[in-house]
Amino acid sequence: MPIGSTRATGVVATAVVLLLVLIGDLVRVEALAGRATAQDRETTKAELLAACPDRKIDLNTFRPGAMIDDSRGNLIVVASSKRTIAVCARQPFGSTSGVAEITEMGLRGRRRVLATTGGLGDDANYLGYGRTLPGIVKIELFLPDGTAVRTDTAAETFAFLVPLPRDQMPDLTAKVTDQHGTIVYEGPL
């Protein structure tokens, strides 16, 4: 195909249009994530979940939950329903999402107040998430040296950021507080 031909021009024009559409989608997700520290976090969470590729995350079924980011383009938003939790993970090169069945009954059956479900990591950070029992309003996580890990807790979910690569993740300890201010668990995550 000679440069300047009608066909070459058409191919280049199509490629430019596709690139603009892709950039537009990325800019939309980036703009939503940039609002994560704004006053209306709930709206931001709902918009980010709605923009995720997994269509199983129906906001009529799921309640937006915990949200955390690493200030490097990685962000996790968790949502909960009666039977499952869902996660939307946004990374610099795209979004991923998934749904995991983890219920209140499952936690109670294992005599747990919380359980981790998954996470994503890179060469600098690990972002994890999980589910809590109803009534849990605060989860504090600590590295082995006692350093606090950044966390968020909402809608029976939690998310956390460990400032270490995934392959260097240490065992964390947790301190879990309910809506009455009572510490209901303190021990290994």
Q: Which two tokens stand for residue 37?
A: 């520290």
> From CA 176, how far away is CA 59, in angstroms rounded?
27
pLDDT in tens, 36-83: 454 578 888 888 888 877 767 778 888 999 999 888 888 899 999 888
Query: Does residue 88 lie in a domain region?
Result: yes
pLDDT in tens, 155-175: 999 999 999 988 898 999 999
Query: Does residue 184 lie in a domain region?
Result: yes
Q: What is the domain extent for residue 110?
A: 6-188
Query: Does residue 20 lie in a domain region?
Result: yes
Query: Does residue 1 lie in a domain region?
Result: no
pLDDT in tens, 97-144: 778 777 888 888 888 898 888 888 888 899 999 999 999 999 999 999
**Sheet holding 148-154: strands in order across?**
114-121, 126-132, 157-162, 148-154, 136-142, 173-178, 183-188
Q: What is the pTM of this model?
A: 0.76
Query: Does residue 11 lie in a domain region?
Result: yes
Question: 3 falls in which pLDDT band (50, 70, 90)?
Answer: low
Query: Does residue 82 lie in a domain region?
Result: yes
State the pLDDT at residue 82.
84
Please count the structural domains in the chain.
Answer: 1
